[in-house]
Structure 1
Amino acid sequence: MVALHELPYPTKRIREGGVEILIPDPNAYRRSDGVYEPAWAPVFYNPRMGFNRDIAVILAAAYRELAGLEKLVVVEPLAGSGVRALRYAVEAGAYVYAADIDPDAVHLARINIDINGVTDRVKIERADANEFMAKLRRSGVKPSIVDLDPFGSPAPFIDVAIQSIGVRGVLAATATDTAPLSGAHSRALRRRYDVKPARTAWEKEQAVRILAGYIIRRAASHEYGARILLAYYADYYVRVYAELRRGAGRADDSLSSLGYGAYCPYCGYTGYIQQPDTRCPYCSAPLQATGPLYTGPLCDPRLVQLMRRIAEERRHTLSDYERVAKLLSRLGEECSIVKPYYRLDRLCSLLRMNMPKPAKVVEALRYKGYRATLTHFDPRGFRTDAPHPVVVNTLVEMRASGTRQA
C-alpha cells in the first residue's frame, strides 16, 4: 500500500465512471478567473476528458465482444493520474500496462491503483512513452488496444504504437492540436502530419480526417492495414480509433481510402478529389484542397450499435451518459454519409440568403429522396449524399417559399 502522507500537495478524492481516484485538489490550481487549470497541478488530471474516457471504455467492451477476445490487454503510455488505465481495468475488464515519465504521476497512479484494488490487473512504471511501448513489444506483450492521450499531437508516438501491436489490435489516439489540423497553422500541419494545408468550411471534420489519414499512412509504412472504427470531434480535441491488421495487401487496401478534401469558396461545393490541383466541378473555380486525408465512413455501424447498448446498460456509472448517448446516436446517422458536412451559414452567405434551421434543410433533402442528417461536428452543419446542385436548389426553393429561418 502506497502511503498517502507522502504526497506533498493538497488532494481531493473523486469518483469518475466506475472508479474512485485521488487527484491534486483543483481549488489549489485555479486561475484568477476561478477556472481550474489542469496543467498547473503537479499531476495532470482533466475532468473535461471524462467524456472521452467514457467512450474509450465503452468501445473497449464492445470491441472485445465483436472481436471475440478472451482477454483484453490495454497499453497506456501516457498515464497521468492513472484514471484512464483504471477505468479500462474496472469497467472493461482489461489488463493494463501503463507508464508515465513523471515520477509524481506514477506515484499518484499507484495510490489510485491501490484504492481501486486492481494491483493484479494494472501495472505502472516510470518510463518514456516510446521506450515503454518498444520494451513491451520486445517482451512479447500483444496489446488489444494502445491508447495515446497526449497533450498536443500524438504524431511523435504513432509509429512505435503501431509497431507494438501484434497481428491485430486497436490504436486509439487523441489530438488536441486542432488549430493545425483544421488548417489554421499551415506550417505546423505540414511538419507534424505531412499534409498540404488549406482552409475548408468543414474544418472540424477536416481535423478528424487528417488524423485518421495520418494513422492509415503510418500504419501502411509498417505493413498494417487500418480500418477506422470510430472518429469524432469534441470540445477542443480529435479522437480516432483504428483497427490495425498486419499484411501488405491490407495496407494497400487502406491506402485506397485516402484522397484530398475540397471546398469551393465561390459556390460552396464540398467533397473529395484525388488530385489537389483540381478545379471545382460545378463552377470551375480553383478549389481549396487539403490532404492526404481519410475519405471513408467515420464509424463502424455494428460497433456503434453495440456501444449504444452497452452505454444504456451502464448509464448510471458513466461520467456523462446523456452526452455519450447523443454522440453515438448522431454518429450512427452520420456513418452512412461520407461526404463532408456543409456549414449552412457559409453556404447561405454565398447564396445571399438568411439561414434556415438546419433540421428543416435535412427534412427537405430527405423529402427529395436523399440521405441527410445533422452532424455532431457543428450545430450549424448538416451532411447529405445529395449532389451539390440539389443542395443549392433546395436552399433557393426554401428562400422562395419563405421557410422559417433559424
Structure 2
Amino acid sequence: MSTEGWRRAAGAIGLLWLATMASAGMVFLAQLLLARRLGPSEYGLFASSLATVTVVAPLAGFGLSQFRLKAYGTEGWAADRWLRPAFRFSAFTCVLAVGIVIAWALLGSVVDSETRLTLVLLTPVIVGLVAIDLVGSKLRLEERHKALAGWQLLMPAGRLAVAATLLALPFASAHGAALGYGLVALLIAALALPQLVLMQRGGIELKGHGPRPALPPSDPEPGALQLWSQAWAYGMAALLYPVFFQASTVLLKYLGSNAQAGHYGVALAVMMAVYLFPSTVYQKFLLSRLHRWAVHDKPRFRRVYRLGNLGMLGMGVMVGLALAVAAPWLVPLAFGPKFGDVAGLLMILSLCVPLRFLSTAVGSALLTENHMRYRVVAMLLATLVAVLLNIWAIPRYGAAGSAWATVVAEAALLGSMWFAVRRFRVLEKSR
C-alpha cells in the first residue's frame, strides 16, 4: 500500500474509532444513568429483558448483511442479483423474530407480568437493529466512512436521550425505559427507509470494483433455497454471538435474581464498550476489504491477518490491564455504592479483553470465502461452554461464577477459532 493509501486508511479508522468512542461513551453513560435511576432490581428487569430481545434479534436478517459483504467482495457488481431475495428473506425473518419474543412474553411459564410487558415494549428494538445493520452494510460497501460513523451513533444517542429523560422525570421504571428504547428503534427504522428503498433498487455505489457495467449482469435472480445455501453460516454465526455474549445476564435473572442480573448487566455494558474497538477495526473498516482481498489480493490478505493478530493481542493486554486497575475506583464513583460488587466482576472479566481482541483478529480469516462453516462450529462449541458453565456456576457462585464462566468461554472461542484456522489451513488455501 502506498503512503497515501496508508494515510487514507489511518484517517478512516481514526474517524470510525472516534465515532466508536463516542458511541461507547453514550452507551456507558446511558447504562450508568439507568442503573442509578432504577436501582439494581428494576435495572436488572430491564437489562435482562433487553438481553433476551438481543439474543433473538439476529434471527431477523439472519446474517445477510455479512453475506452481502462477501457476495460483493467476490462477485463485484454482479452481486446486485442477491438484493431482492435478501430483502424478502430479511422481512420474513424480522416478522418471525418479533413473533418469537411476543410468544415468549405471553406464553413463557417463567415470565412474570412485569417481564411480560417489558419484553413487549422492547420488540421494536429488533426492527431498529435490522435497519442499522442493513444501512451499515451499504455504507461499508460504498466506503462512506463519515456517513457510517454518523449512522452508528444514532442508536446510542437515542438511548442516552431516553436515560436522560427518565433521570429528569419524578418517576421512572423498567417499563418507561423499555418504551423509550422501542420508540428510538422505530424512529431509526423510519430514517433508514429511504436508504433501504434505494438499496433494493440496486442503488449501491460499490467501491473497489471499478465503474458499474453498462449492461446489467446476466445471472438470474437466485431463489430462496440458493440464498439459504449461501447465507446459512452467516445467519448461524449472527444467532450464536448474542447467545454467547448475553447468556449470562439472561440466566442470572432466571437462575438468580433481577438484582444479580442488574449487577452483571452493568459489568457487561462496560465490556461492550471495550469490545467496540476490535469490532470497529474489523467489522466497520476491514471486513468488506478482507472479502475482496481474500479473492483478488491474497498476499495482502495474509499480511493484514498476521499484523492484525499482533496488534490486537498487544492492544488487548494493555486495555485489560487498564480495566483491572481502574475498576475498583471507577465503578463506585460512576454507579454508586449499590453496585460496588461490579468492580470485582470487571476485574475477573478484564481477563477476557486480550482473549476477545485476539479472537476477533484470528476469526477474521474465517469470515471470508467458504470458511464460515468452520467459524460456526467454533462459535457453537464456545456457546455451549458458556451456557453449560453458567447453568452450573450461577446457583453455586452467583454473578462471580458467571464471570469466570465467561472467561473460560472466551478462551474456548479463541482456541477453537485458532484451531479451525490451523486445522483447515485457511491461510494456505489463500496462497
Give the TM-score taking structure 1 as reference length.
0.27
* Bigger relative CO (Cα 8 Å, ≥ 6 apart): 2
Bigger fraction of residues in helix: 2
What TM-score does the superposition give when structure 2 sets the normalisation length?
A: 0.26
